[in-house]
Amino acid sequence: MSAAHLTSGLLFDERFLAHDAGVETSVQMREGSFELDPEPHPSDLAIIKRTWQFLERSGLLERMQRLHARPAHEEELLVYHTRSYLDGLRAYAAGGPRLGDWGEVDEDTSVSTGSLEAALWAAGGACRAVDAVMRGEVRNVFALLRPPGHHAERNRALGYCIFNNAVIAAEHARRTYGLERIMIIDWDVHHGNGTQDAFYADPGVLFLSLHQRNWYPRCSGELEQVGTGAGLGYTVNIPLPEGTGDRGYAAAFEQLVLPIGLHYRPQLILVSAGQDASWLDPLARMMMTRRGYRRLTELVIALADEVCQGRLVVLNEGGYSRAYVPYCVAAIVEALLGLDLGIVDLYAGAWELERSATIFTRATRRAVEQARRWHRQWWPL
C-alpha cells in the first residue's frame, strides 16, 4: 500500500535536554594548567534546542505529526548492551568509578543522572520512531535525539554516546515486526563503530557508513572492515577525504549507497544522521552544506520508495556547529516533507559554499572509485 498520503513524523522530548554535557575551562600544559572563561562542551544542549526552535518557528513542525518519546525498556537495551554495563553506568552516574569490570565511560563523555535519563528516552524514542513508520502512522520520521548513539559499544560509553540508539531501534524493528533485512546508512562524519560491532556477523542488518577517513575512532571504519562469517560483505565502509563536500557525497551515494541498497532490498531504512560533515563543524573537515544534506535525504527517500514503501527513520547523531546544525536538520526535514521553504543559507554567497557544491576533487574521485572497486567483491557495482 502506498504511504504517499501520510505526513512525516517529528520526535523530540524535553528530557533530551537533561543531558548536560558541561563546559570546558582548563588549558592543559606539560606541567599544570590554567583556566579561561567557560566554553560549552562541543555537544552542548543549545544545539538541539536551537534546532527544535528552528523547526517550530519555520512552520515545519506544524506540517508534521509530533511524536512523543518513551523510555527504552531494559530488555530493549540488553539486546546489545550488557547487564553489567547498565549497572556500572548507574553507579557511575551516582558518583562511582569511570572504569570497572563492567566497562567504561570514556573521558569525553559526560554521564550524570540527567544524562542517563536522556539516554534512556533517546533509545526508547528511536524505537517509538520505528513503530510510527512500521504501523503506518507516518510516512517517515526525523527523531531529534540526544545524546547520540553510534559510538556506544556493548559495555562502553564513547564519543558522547551512552546507548546505541540505531542498534536498539534496528533490533526493535526486527523483533517486533519480524523484519529480515534492515539497512542502516550512517552519514555522521565519524565512524559508527558501535553499530558496526553490533551487526558485524549479521547479514540481517546491512551497515553502511560514510565518514571522514583516518578520523574518529582511531582505525575504525577502514575499507577492509567488511563483516565476518555470515555477515561478510554486509558491513560497507566508505572512508572519504577531507573536503569531500556536497558533490563528492552525492557521487558516493549514487555510485555506492543506492546500488547496494537496491540490491539488498531492505524492508526498512534507518539513517544515523550526524550533521557534523558540515563546512562549519568544529570537529571535522568535510564541507557539506544544507543543500548537500537535502540532496542526500532525497536520494535516500528515492531508495526507500523503491524498496520498502518509503519506510525511513532518520535518527539524529552528531553535529557540533551551534550556528549551522539547525539549518542542516531543517533541510533534511524539508526533504522528508517534499517542501522548500526558501530558507536562505547562513553565509549564502560565501565562495566556500559554492566550492563545496561544485568541485569534485581528484582525492574524492579516487576514494569513491577505490571503494567501488573494493566493495565489488560483494555487490554489483
From 127-135, 172-180, 182-190, 322-330, span contacting Zn ion (CB under 5 A): 182-190
**C-beta closer to Zn ion: residue 221 or 248:** 221
Residue 221 contacts Zn ion per CB under 5 A: no
Give 6's contacts (C-beta < 8 A, 6+ positions apart): 136, 137, 138, 139
Nearest to 111 by CA among 18, 217, 188, 27: 18
**C-beta closer to Zn ion: residue 156 or 190:** 190
From 31-39, 255-263, 272-280, 308-316, span contacting Zn ion (CB under 5 A): 272-280
Residue 192 contacts Zn ion per CB under 5 A: no
Largest CA distance in the chain: 66
Rounded to the nearest 10 degrees, what angle do helices 290-307 and 351-358 cross at? 30
Q: Site for Zn ion (CB under 5 A): which residue of 104, 171, 188, 202?
A: 188
Under 8 Å between Cβ of 34 and 308: no
Residue 281 contacts Zn ion per CB under 5 A: no
Q: How far is the CB of 15 from Zn ion (least distance, A)?
A: 22
Q: How far is the CB of 276 from Zn ion (least distance, A)?
A: 4
> Which x/- pattern, by CB under 5 A, does the window 104-143 give for Zn ion?
----------------------------------------
Q: How far is the CB of 1 from Zn ion (least distance, A)?
A: 36
Q: How far is the CB of 142 from Zn ion (least distance, A)?
A: 17
| 69 φ, ψ (degrees, to nearest 5) | -75, 170
Residue 147 contacts Zn ion per CB under 5 A: no
Residue 274 contacts Zn ion per CB under 5 A: yes
Query: Locate cell 523547526: which residue?
Result: 55
Containing 237, the helix (H) or strand (E) segment is strand 235-240
C-alpha cell at 229: 562469517
Kindly list the catalytic residues: 151
Q: Site for Zn ion (CB under 5 A): which residue of 15, 139, 174, 190?
A: 190
State how far the Cα of 214 lies from the Cα of 220, in Å rounded to an integer: 8
User: What letter would DSSP give residue 345?
Assistant: P
Q: How far is the CB of 85 from Zn ion (least distance, A)?
A: 21
C-alpha cell at 375: 566493495
From 82-90, 183-191, 244-252, 336-344, span contacting Zn ion (CB under 5 A): 183-191
- Size of site (CB under 5 A) for Zn ion: 5
Give me the DSSP letters along 71-99.
Answer: PPPHHHHHTTS-HHHHHHHHHHHTT--SE
Which of positions 152-171 make contact with Zn ion (CB under 5 A)?
A: none
C-alpha cell at 141: 520520521
State how far the Cα of 112 lies from the Cα of 24, in Å rounded to an integer: 16
Cross-strand bridge partners of residue 315: 143, 272
From 61-69, 104-112, 166-174, 180-188, span contacting Zn ion (CB under 5 A): 180-188
What residue spans of the chain are helical by DSSP H? 45-57, 74-78, 83-93, 113-134, 165-177, 193-198, 245-252, 258-264, 290-307, 325-337, 351-358, 362-375
Residue nearest to Zn ion (CB): 318
Cross-strand bridge partners of residue 272: 186, 315
Q: How far is the CB of 359 from Zn ion (least distance, A)?
A: 23
Residue 146 contacts Zn ion per CB under 5 A: no
From 43-51, 108-116, 188-196, 254-262, span contacting Zn ion (CB under 5 A): 188-196
Residue 194 contacts Zn ion per CB under 5 A: no
If phi > 0 it is left, if psi is from -120 to 50 it is alpha, else beta; for residue 168 that is alpha
Q: How far is the CB of 321 from Zn ion (least distance, A)?
A: 12
Which of positions 306-325 make contact with Zn ion (CB under 5 A)?
A: 318
Which positions lie near Zn ion, rule CB under 5 A? Answer: 188, 190, 274, 276, 318
